[in-house]
Structure 1
């Protein structure tokens, strides 16, 4: 078993990129984006709402090339590139856990030249149908993951631990970085030596205003607002681990 490494776990939307990728694509047609919002507001699960709306997007004439071009221009801070390069040079592993989908994340990372820096992407599977429609399904269907903290499509905490168990590495330190309410669960899986990085002004920050929620995180909790601050904290952690 490999020892002496740090594992960096990241959310994707509004953590590694500066916009929600689902909203970015669905907003290519305002009527489709409005339909998505109506479905979600009416109680349809988020991933299912996206999947249904992507079919509507296709029916309105949006194909693979337009989706790909939109992904290539999603707001991206160069501090993230620097952070990945620094992590690689310091022998840290990177795993992404997201409620987006495989196509979005793969294509954004490839466009930025960063796909090879990531050990694994854990998210909802996406594929192209015969008519050129993007088909997205839930990551988890049967059996249900059973976590009350997470959306039915994906328990990030369970999947984060599952990655660690199957990768054959005994990590010295775990770090998880995110912005959303669904990033709370993996942070509760961290130990006292580990670090949770929460973005200010987002739904995770709101969740952590609750003292009972905050008490469920035994890791060191640190805050960031801009990607440059996230990178700076990751640098500090990896430099400390190297000494």
Structure 2
């Protein structure tokens, strides 16, 4: 990954006192309490060769979890007045209102968990996750980066038996309060004009890579890989270098935006692009990468 933006110019900064577990802050994002919005991770070996990020909605699961939780509502629908409160760029705030409405209608934690556990995996995804789980421990460091929320993501991963694979989960915090309401909070703030106000995935990707580079003594990963589908997955993919790999789901917004950038600004999108319709195609490419 010698040509990646994450390696050639990195100089480790000494951690501030008492802050050795927090990611270095990018210029885009003000300081935020990552511990409050990041699932705890086990100790990670510093010798991982490849760092691979996954989106969740319509990448790991073949649905949008925020949409599917409505199945737990009375009549499996939301009232028009609530739907009409959505404003572009403020989806996290809209979902806070949706979750408050579900609580008012008596929807319980177990009912929501049941909906999440039934979400279907995208084609071939379970094969891909199993492939990663069976690789030697030094090969892949796996991170989930999602604009869903911690309760939805953790519910599905644990039911699928996939939670141990992920070293870190970066998503919006969500916890049940004493009244049984799922309280959703924004992950952080930032000033990226492309992304919703609660999350810029490029900022989080850069923060994570910077922190891990420090923990690895400045030693880079061979490559950074990104598997996604949505418009908000395009933003982090633009930070990848020419040896890194973007895996956009074929004909989804991430794929279309990459194609548009290639056409409008040739050479600006630097990562190798490997579209996929079934995640077995990602497995095939990973096998080639490992063999290089």
Q: Secondary structure at the match of 1:234?
A: helix
> Number of residue pairs matched?
236
Q: Secondary structure at the match of 2:144?
A: strand
- Structure 2 CA distance, aligned partners of 1:72 and 1:99? 18
Deviation at 1:38, TM superposition (A): 2.1
Q: 1:149 aligns with which of 194, 217, 239?
A: 194
Q: Does 1:39 find its partner at 2:85? A: yes
**Higher RCO, 1 vs 2 (CA within 8 Å, ≥6 residues apart):** 2
Deviation at 1:98, TM superposition (A): 0.7
Q: 1:201 aligns with which of 251, 260, 271?
A: 251
Residue 106 to residue 92, structure 1, CA distance change in 2 (3 Å): same
Q: Does 1:98 find its partner at 2:181? A: no
Of Structure 1 and Structure 2, the greater helix share is in 1
Q: Gaps (5+ residues) in structure 2?
A: 1-44
Q: Does 1:12 find its partner at 2:56? A: yes
Of Structure 1 and Structure 2, the greater strand share is in 1
- Structure 2 CA distance, aligned partners of 1:28 and 1:4? 40
**Could you tell me which residue of structure 2 aligns to residue 130 of structure 1?**
178
Q: Does structure 1 conserve the Cα–Cα contact (< 8 Å) formed by 2:54 and 2:60? A: yes
Deviation at 1:215, TM superposition (A): 4.4
Q: Does structure 2 conserve the Cα–Cα contact (< 8 Å) formed by 1:18 and 1:76? A: yes
1:92-136, CA deviations, whole angstroms, 9 ceiling, x for partnerless residues?
Answer: 011111110011111111111111110111110000011111111
Residue 208 to residue 60, structure 1, CA distance change in 2 (3 Å): same
Runs (4+) of structure 1 moved beyond 6 Å?
none
Q: Gaps (5+ residues) in structure 1?
A: none
Residue 95 to residue 33, structure 1, CA distance change in 2 (3 Å): farther
Q: Select the structure of larger CA radius of gyration.
A: 2
Q: TM-score scaled by structure 1?
A: 0.89
